[in-house]
Amino acid sequence: MILAIENLDMLRINFDSDSLWLANITLALVMFGVALDIKISDFTNLLKSPKPVIIGIFAQFFLIPFVTFILVSVINPLPSIALGMIMVASCPGGNISNFMSKLAGGNTALSISLTAFASLAALVMTPLNFAIYGNLYEPTSEILKTVSLNPLEVAKIVLLIIGIPLVLGMAIKHYFSHFASKASKFLKPVSILIFIAFVVVALYENLDIFTDYIGNVLFLVLLHNAVLILLGFYFAKITGLDYNDQKTLGIEIGIQNSGLGLLLVFSFFDGLGGMALLVAFWAIWDIVSGLIVSYYWSSKLPKAVIS
């Protein structure tokens, strides 16, 4: 049993170049659909009320990686699994968070602003945080020594998957607002469903690995996700944000763009077993947990607010 667990660090998830190309297109499509709802004013609004956005960005790119590093250091999981947790923590917020924030009765405008800012900041912060904490934790630093991981190459992928679709979607929103609004209502849910189907198919093609080793990441994903949701909610609370903002930050911090993380795992780590398994399960679970939390908060709303 111990040998089987240790082998997880050496396993490789099957994922060919065609699937990798499809993953690129799928994630870019998801980001493009989200960007169709983002206006230039979402950035300029920062000047009017900067505190919630600054708190959210700080939590996203400074608190999450630090708390994850502490969690990894305490639990001491297998190195490949620990690297997967650090990868998730280095990614920006998930693209479905805007819908969840609206459902929960949170501050949707804040959620959209955080998505916009985090997406741009991820060009620098995702490779930077991953390099810092991946090398700071000794067991994962040993793996990174065997991988040719150029932060500029990571930033290049983030640019292609997040940056370009974000700018393109915002440009269409600015110049063709009516078309963008109609297209977004169709494209956002469809693209997210395509992404979920993509992850499910990828797991199905590696079903034997998934069923044999899921127990090694199940508890960690649930724990990590719960810690991040609570971190976002209570950090917003202690910094003086109102209840709606607290719900929004709970969702924004708990829902990571693990799809981007999964793509980086296959692009640079050749589907490293524990890493790929953890990030893939994250990609599904944080959608489930986000919907559960959102529906719970929505059940507490007055009927007039829900309608």
Residues 6+ apart with CB under 8 A from 249: 52, 55, 56, 59, 232, 233, 235, 236, 241
Q: Is the pLDDT of residue 235 over 90?
A: yes
Contact 45, 109 (CB under 8 A): yes
Q: How confident is residue 307, by pLDDT bands cut at 50, 70 and 90?
A: very low
- In this structure, the number of other CB atoms found within 10 A of the CB of residue 175 comes to 9
**pLDDT tens profile 151-164:** 777 777 788 877 88
**pLDDT tens profile 186-209:** 777 777 777 777 767 766 766 777
**pLDDT tens profile 72-91:** 999 999 888 999 999 999 99
Residue 67: what pLDDT? 96
CA nearest 253: which of 237, 279, 275, 230? 230
Residues 6+ apart with CB under 8 A from 144: 83, 134, 135
> Average model confidence (pLDDT) for the chain?
81
Residue 12, classed as helix, strand or coil, is strand
* DSSP per residue, 117-144: HHHHHHHHHHHHHHHHHHHHSHHHHHHH
Residue 10: what pLDDT? 60
Residue 183: what pLDDT? 83
Average pLDDT (280-296) is 86
Q: Is the pLDDT of residue 5 over 50?
A: no
Domains of the chain by start residue, with CATH: 14-306 (1.20.1530.20)
CA nearest 135: which of 152, 124, 149? 149
**pLDDT tens profile 8-57:** 666 566 655 566 677 777 778 877 887 887 777 766 766 677 889 899 99
Residue showing tokens 């849910």: 189
What does the buried/exposed string (b/e) look like for 252-288 if buried means 16 or more CB atoms within 10 Å of the residue's CB? bbbbbbbbbbbbbbbbbbebbbbbbbbbbbbbebbbe
Percent of the chain with pLDDT over 90: 25
CA nearest 105: which of 286, 248, 228? 248
Q: Is the pLDDT of residue 4 over 50?
A: no
Residue 58: what pLDDT? 94
Residue showing tokens 């690129």: 24
Average pLDDT (142-171) is 79
- In this structure, the number of other CB atoms found within 10 A of the CB of residue 194 comes to 15
Give the CA dihedral 146, 150, 156, 159, nearest 10 degrees: 90
Q: Is the pLDDT of residue 236 over 80?
A: yes
What does the buried/exposed string (b/e) look like for 104-139 if buried means 16 or more CB atoms within 10 Å of the residue's CB? bbbbbbbbbbbbbbbbbbbbebbbbbbbebbeebeb
Q: Is the pLDDT of residue 3 over 70?
A: no
- The three-point CA angle 44-63-138 to 5° equals 135
Residue 304: what pLDDT? 44
